[in-house]
Amino acid sequence: MDQIELVRSLQAKNDSKIVMYVGDGLGGLPQKPGGPTELEAAKTPNLDALAARGVQGGSIPVKPGISPGSGPGHLGLFGYDPLKYLIGRGALEATGIGLVLKDGDVAVRCNFCTVDADGKITDRRAGRIPTEESAPLAIKLREVKIDGIEIIVEPVKEHRFVVLFRGEGLGGNVHDTDPQATGVKPLDPKAADAASEKTAKIALEFFQKAGKLLAGEKKANSLTMRGFSAKPSIPSFEEVYGLKAAAIAVYPMYKGLASLVGMDIIGEPQTLGEEIDLLEKHWEEYDFFFVHFKYTDSSGEDGNFDMKVKRTEEFDAEVPRITALNPEVIVVTGDHSTPSFLSSHSWHPVPTLLASNCCRFDGHTSFGEKTAMVGGLGQFEAQYLMTLAMANAGRLGKFGA
């Protein structure tokens, strides 16, 4: 019996509510040995107050030493083994903007980028081109035609857009074309298995034709392709946990992930404040709420320590509105760490805080990496966070006689 089967067999019904408040990339590092992390440097009176009546620890997104993408990171938070249930970024992005994947489809999350006269990347995100500039360019790429293949191109947000290939004999196992570096050309799409050879050829043809359409642009004059993925198969969140669940997020990818596990996507918020407005509005309709905040991650990826501190303080500022709703369980965590020191996702355990009326308080009165390392939850794999939340909500029965 695996964890999913175990939890499904132990479901217990009651009227409790659980809020999972996720600061994407929440965990960080000090800028110099002995200094504070971004979370520790931030003024977080509300999270500290929550810590004073909660228990904390460090969640390991996948396995020790493994730096996760956002997909595996969130799957772990939702209680799915990210090594067993693999969902590609393309599928997440596509479903996040409302596309319905069919069997045999391959979705790709693409980034506009800037290249020089030699075709070498100078900016992997095209200066984070604003959506109002990038959306018309994504729509322009609908002009690309490939024999025997239906191509769907949809804008997402800023430098991101989605391409969906629909046709016969397509596999979703193709390597990314983003070299994760500047000063080099985008990589050619390479199939990782024989079933995906056709997809790789189609992707290369799309890249070449799209490049010609973008050639005259100053910022977004090329593209990279990431997260090739087919339609995944995964048990629904409600089936596993018996919870009617809602997801509240700004960015499409996180809506996509929540949608793929069967959560309802609530509203079209553009700010964290609007997300909490939706939480309040729909409070009586759901048992579980996933509330996502992106900018702790993007500021970390930009290597901007001070901005991540600021974004963390914004994240903290909305906590009183959540606690005012009196959820039986509130979990504060991240899907992974994104230290500005590294400007990337990292393997470090994520500070995680759980507050309920029946948690075993660990005596800490602040929330940060140092306290999380010695907190009462210890260091644990993120896939067990949902069982801890369920138990604290009184929603898990006893195992065995």
Q: Domain locations in the chain?
A: 14-85+234-392, 93-230
Parallel, antiparallel, or unpaired for β 18-23 and 288-293?
Answer: parallel
As a whole number of angstroms, the distance between CA 5 and CA 9 comes to 6
pLDDT for residue 60 = 98
Token pair of 242 as six digits: 């018996």
Mean pLDDT of 270-298: 97
C-alpha dihedral sign at 184, 176, 150, 254: negative
Q: What confidence category does residue 253 fall into, taking pLDDT thresholds of 50, 70 and 90?
A: confident
Q: What is the pLDDT of residues 29-43, one digit of tens each?
A: 999 999 999 999 999
Is pLDDT above 90 for 58? yes
pLDDT for residue 377 = 97
Mean pLDDT of 366-390: 97
Mean pLDDT of 151-162: 95
pTM over cut 0.85: no
Mean pLDDT of 365-394: 97
Mean pLDDT of 63-78: 94
Mean pLDDT of 243-271: 92
The three-state secondary structure class of 20 is: strand
pLDDT for residue 143 = 97
**What is the DSSP code string of 137-186?**
HHHHGGG--BTTBEEEEEEEETTEEEEEEESTT--S-B--S--SSSSSPP
Q: What confidence category does residue 328 fall into, taking pLDDT thresholds of 50, 70 and 90?
A: very high
What letters, b where the CB count within 10 A reaches 16 and e where it falls short, cover 235-251? eebbebbbbebbbbbbb
Q: What confidence category does residue 9 fall into, taking pLDDT thresholds of 50, 70 and 90?
A: very high
As a whole number of angstroms, the distance between CA 293 and CA 291 comes to 7
* Number of CB atoms found within 10 A of residue 262's CB: 16
C-alpha dihedral sign at 293, 294, 298, 300: positive
Q: Tell me the pLDDT of the chain averaged across its residues.
A: 95
Parallel, antiparallel, or unpaired for β 121-123 and 106-115?
Answer: antiparallel
pLDDT for residue 95 = 84
Q: Which residues pair with 378 in a beta bridge?
A: 57
Phi, psi of 335, deg, nearest 5: -80, -20
pLDDT for residue 3 = 87
pLDDT for residue 98 = 81
Determine the angle formed by the axes of helices 70-77 and 89-96, rounding to 10 degrees: 70
Is pLDDT above 80 for 1? no
Q: What is the pLDDT of residues 89-139, one digit of tens each?
A: 898 888 878 888 888 899 999 999 999 999 999 999 999 999 999 999 999
CATH topology of domain 14-85+234-392: Alkaline Phosphatase, subunit A (3.40.720)
As a whole number of angstroms, the distance between CA 335 and CA 337 comes to 7
Which residue has tokens 């909660």? 54
pLDDT for residue 401 = 80
Q: What confidence category does residue 379 fall into, taking pLDDT thresholds of 50, 70 and 90?
A: very high
